[in-house]
Amino acid sequence: MAETTNQYTEDSIRSLDWREHIRLRPGMYIGKLGDGSSMDDGIYILLKEVIDNCIDEYTMGYGKRVEISIADGSVTIRDYGRGIPLGKVVDVVSKINTGAKYDSKAFQKSVGLNGVGTKAVNALSSYFKVAAFREGRTKVAEFEQGVLIKEHKEAASNEPNGTLVTFTPDNTVFKHYHFIHEYIENQIWNYCFLNAGLQINFNGRNYVSKNGLLDLLQRRTNPEELRYPIIHLKGNDIEVALSHTGDYGEELYSFVNGQHTTQGGTHQGAFREAVVKVIRDFYKKDYDAADVRQSIVAAISVRVQEPVFESQTKTKLGSQYVWENGPSMKAFVADFLGKELDNYLHKNPSVADALKKRIEQSERERKELSGIRKLANERAKKANLHNKKLRDCRIHLNDEPPAKNKEEFAEKQLESTIFITEGDSASGSITKSRRVDTQAVFSLRGKPLNCYGLTKKVVYENEEFNLLQHALNIEAGLEGLRYNNIVIATDADVDGMHIRLLIMTFFLQFFPDLVRAGHIHILQTPLFRVRNKQKTIYCYTDEERQRAIAELGNKPEITRFKGLGEISPEEFAQFIGDDMRKDPVLLSQDAVIQKLLEYYMGKNTPQRQTFIIDNLKIEKDLAEEIGAAV
């Protein structure tokens, strides 16, 4: 029998210490790594894990202020809670399953319960420092990649009680990472909305909320778009705010113990069911659930004792009960809304009338679309039999996880990506170089329709749009979304920019919740290839091109990539792999979608003409400079 090189012996068995395991399998602890271009990338989870501890102190009644500063990729967070007990400072940040949150009396209804959070931050940071201040004394410890490099002796201090943590994410783990301050600001606002009265200072700016979820919806909506004033309801361990707008889709924000559950869970499902039931009972009419939830904008926050999440990153609640031997989540939310929302509608007949009109408008629109939708769905099914527009991947965002390797599968689900591109050459290059497990390709045929100002009827009548919404599985909302990342991949020229705007218009007009949830990105591919016989450098900006020329010297060969099809599949694999660069499509807190669309896709206003001319001039000047250099 031939010998095999894969011997399975006692030597094959390894025991990893805590930091080795975190660094070897970071996805189990912080989800996907990423470079900071997505709101669920690992560097934001590191930030969240530290802030969560500050928030837990606040909810226990200690420390009303948190200070956060970020500069040059390094983070410092200071709270004014009780401070880590000085004799346990090193253990709390470097020994797995060590912490006060196992004592439910000390931390009731906490965010973090498994003693892992700050250990993961420590292990995945090139530098990590923790300082605790308690009753005039301090204790400081410093680490590199989770390894203790200096433990300071306990000393006297004039600092008020609390904890200070400084960390720098390890750039060997988080390659090319960068913090997007809009994401951080969004995180901070959520903490403030869920903890009325808490003050957070981020890089010198103060954030505070007095009215909780009411402030959240007021900040996330335009008063002109609301069909009726925001309904704000509060009870023990639950808070709800809701209204309806004129937009398509649902805009839901759900939270558990101060944690933003971006993937929903039992509490969000209970809310969606309960709202429909209360409205049906109040109006004594069996409205279709889709009509009730169409255009709803709402937020729900619950407090749960020892919550069960479906992953370490706590983005989806799995708890069926609110507390031990207590009501089910479904009954708890249903009872609260059944009483409070029903009472509100009885006391505010003008709101009840406006809500009824909005639901009946959605009902009319749905019925008008019913015949068209049926035909469109049949066409989509037939097209799928021979559809070459979609080269699908194997793992999708909402696939049922296997019995084994659930954590690894969940990590790949977060990596699930669909590239939307145009033309056979571009889609062919991406298809040949993609990762078939997690990356799909959808190929457009020419420029899509400008759908600004059109109704959703066009989505079903236009073959491209109809097949795209079926590929994404978003016809009924985001719950069935098949890909976590929707990446628009177009040429780096004027036509490519136009196609990009048309695709973004489609999403903003009909599926704005996709944009708000951070699923839409723009692929960045190199503008230039600078090379000599010894080395090739790909450059994404003109500044990078100039540095590459200086590095290589002796007039290297410079190629300007104008189309994705000019990049070979072998090269493309480098640009959509671990080091893929993509820019998120972000909406500011006060952005009004219809005004944005009117500016970019409406009539040719003087402002927009100036914007286009200025950008074309930059492109022309750059091309002339490159031509002269070559």
Among residues 207, 231, 257, the one where a domain terminates is 207
Give which of 247, 241, 246 is closest to 219, Cα–Cα.
Answer: 241
- Predicted local confidence at residue 606, as pLDDT: 67
Question: For residue range 361-401, what is the model confidence (pLDDT) as tens digits?
Answer: 999 988 888 888 788 778 777 766 556 688 999 999 888 88
Separation of first and last alpha carbons in the chain: 63
Comparing 24 with 153, which gets the higher pLDDT? 153
Q: Residue 20: is its pLDDT beyond 80?
A: yes
Determine contact, residues 90/131, Cβ cutoff 8 Å.
Answer: no
- 513 within a domain of the structure (yes/no): yes
For residue 595, what are the CA distances in angstroms to 186, 442, 508, 583, 589?
22, 29, 11, 22, 14
Question: For residue range 424-476, what is the model confidence (pLDDT) as tens digits?
Answer: 778 888 899 999 999 999 998 888 888 888 888 888 888 888 889 989 998 87
Q: In whole angstroms, what is the distance from residue 574 CA to residue 572 CA? A: 5
Q: In whole angstroms, what is the distance from residue 68 CA to residue 61 CA? A: 20
- Predicted local confidence at residue 425, as pLDDT: 78
**Lowest-confidence pick of 72-81, 103-112, 175-184, 333-342:** 103-112
Number of neighbouring beta carbons within 10 Å of residue 588: 10
Question: For residue range 408-418, what is the model confidence (pLDDT) as tens digits?
Answer: 788 788 889 99
Q: Residue 157: is its pLDDT beyond 50?
A: yes
Quote the number of domains for the chain: 3
- 67 within a domain of the structure (yes/no): yes
Q: In whole angstroms, what is the distance from residue 356 CA to residue 282 CA? A: 10
One domain for residues 460 and 543: yes
Residue with tokens 């696939």: 399
**Lowest-confidence pick of 114-118, 136-140, 174-178, 467-471:** 114-118
Number of neighbouring beta carbons within 10 Å of residue 281: 11
CATH code where residue 487 lies: 3.40.50.670
Q: In whole angstroms, what is the distance from residue 140 CA to residue 150 CA? A: 8
One domain for residues 133 and 267: no
201-229 burial by CB neighbour count: b if 16+ within 10 A, else e?
bbeeeebbbeebbbbbbbebbbeebbbbe
Number of neighbouring beta carbons within 10 Å of residue 415: 21
- 564 within a domain of the structure (yes/no): yes
- Predicted local confidence at residue 1, as pLDDT: 45
One domain for residues 320 and 465: no
Residue ranges of alpha helices (H) inside 158-265 are: 181-194, 213-220
What is the average per-residue pLDDT within 400-411? 80
One domain for residues 423 and 353: no
Residue ranges of alpha helices (H) inside 202-288 are: 213-220, 266-283
- 577 within a domain of the structure (yes/no): yes
Which DSSP symbol is given to 313?
T
Number of neighbouring beta carbons within 10 Å of residue 512: 19
Collapsed DSSP state (helix, strand, coil) of residue 9: coil
Determine contact, residues 241/231, Cβ cutoff 8 Å.
Answer: yes
Residues 106, 323, 31: CA angle, nearest 5 degrees: 75
Question: For residue range 587-616, what is the model confidence (pLDDT) as tens digits?
Answer: 765 566 666 677 667 665 666 666 655 655
What does the mean pLDDT of the chain come to?
84
Among residues 309, 344, 365, the one where a domain terminates is 365
- Predicted local confidence at residue 548, as pLDDT: 93
- How large is the C-alpha radius of gyration of the chain? 26
Collapsed DSSP state (helix, strand, coil) of residue 128: strand
Q: In whole angstroms, what is the distance from residue 46 CA to residue 167 CA? A: 9
Q: In whole angstroms, what is the distance from residue 279 CA to residue 231 CA? A: 14
One domain for residues 170 and 269: no
- Predicted local confidence at residue 287, as pLDDT: 96
- 57 within a domain of the structure (yes/no): yes
Q: In whole angstroms, what is the distance from residue 597 CA to residue 608 CA? A: 11
Question: For residue range 550-562, what is the model confidence (pLDDT) as tens digits?
Answer: 999 878 999 888 7
One domain for residues 148 and 243: no
Q: What residues contact 474, with CB distance under 8 A and at least 6 apart?
A: 480, 481, 511, 514
One domain for residues 437 and 515: yes
Q: What percent of the chain lies above the pLDDT cut of 90?
A: 43
- Predicted local confidence at residue 310, as pLDDT: 72
Question: For residue range 219-267, what is the model confidence (pLDDT) as tens digits?
Answer: 888 888 899 999 999 999 899 999 999 888 888 899 988 888 877 888 8
One domain for residues 276 and 391: no
CATH code where residue 158 lies: 3.30.565.10
Q: Which amino acid is at 133?
A: F
Among residues 172, 207, 242, the one where a domain terminates is 207
Q: In whole angstroms, what is the distance from residue 523 CA to residue 575 CA? A: 9
What is the average per-residue pLDDT within 266-284? 94
Q: What percent of the chain lies above the pLDDT cut of 70?
A: 86
Please report which helix (H) or strand (E) contains residue 153, including its range: none
One domain for residues 94 and 185: yes
Q: Residue 344: is its pLDDT beyond 70?
A: yes
Q: In whole angstroms, what is the distance from residue 202 CA to residue 15 CA? A: 41
One domain for residues 273 and 405: no
- Predicted local confidence at residue 312, as pLDDT: 57
Q: In whole angstroms, what is the distance from residue 76 CA to residue 129 CA? A: 9
One domain for residues 467 and 358: no
Question: For residue range 518-546, what is the model confidence (pLDDT) as tens digits?
Answer: 899 999 888 899 999 889 999 888 889 99
- Predicted local confidence at residue 488, as pLDDT: 94
Range of the domain at 522: 367-629
